[in-house]
Homo-oligomer: A and B are copies of this chain.
Amino acid sequence: MKQDSRLSATLHVLLHMADRGAPMTSEELAACLGTNPVVIRRTMAGLRETGLVRSEKGHGGGWTLARALDTITLGDVHRALGEPALLALGHRSENPQCLVEQAVNAALGEAFVEAEALLANRFDRVRLSDLAADFSRRFDERRQIHAKHDHTL
């Protein structure tokens, strides 16, 4: 099953935006991910509608965070992306007539619901500020090893 990396990519982009503090263009953000600017605009569209980010056209324009890092959870971002499916496994058919399939759905469904709840729960508990803090920790760690430093990534 091919995996959906939009959540991962979007978190990456949001942290870069926070780190910058000034508007970043789709082109700059695309460079962070090694992808195309249109992919950025397309993905960010949902976040803009949800009020997580703002976009400005023209000179000095680009993307900025609309809320503080500690008020945005991974769950917020996931929902803003349209709540893509968390699990790669699914039922062969919902509401089957066949009793065998009903039993299969019941057994698998229980596991699916639990796993989805676990993920949703975690996503709602982790905030972007937590990721930023982890980034800072890694940054300081690296700076201790090398003598040089460059907060631009």
A85, A91, A92, A119, most chain B CB atoms within 10 A:
A92
A4 in the interface (beta carbon within 8 A): yes
A7, A74, A104, most chain B CB atoms within 10 A:
A104
A84 in the interface (beta carbon within 8 A): yes
A38 in the interface (beta carbon within 8 A): no
Do residues A135 and B103 form an inter-chain contact, with CB atoms below 8 A?
yes
Do residues B103 and A9 form an inter-chain contact, with CB atoms below 8 A?
no
Interface size class on chain A is 35 or more
A66 in the interface (beta carbon within 8 A): no
Do residues B86 and A135 form an inter-chain contact, with CB atoms below 8 A?
no
Q: List, in ascending order, chain B residues with CB within 8 A of A8's CB.
A: 89-92, 101, 104-105, 108
Tell me the A39-83 residues at the B interface (CB within 8 Å): 74
Measured between alpha carbons, how far is A87 from B3 in the docked complex, in Å? 8
What residue in chain B is nearest A132 (Cβ atoms)? B103
**Which residues of A approach B to under 8 Å, CB–CB?**
1-5, 7-9, 11-12, 15-16, 19, 32-33, 74, 84-92, 98-108, 110-111, 114-115, 118-119, 122-123, 126, 130-132, 134-135, 138-139, 142, 153
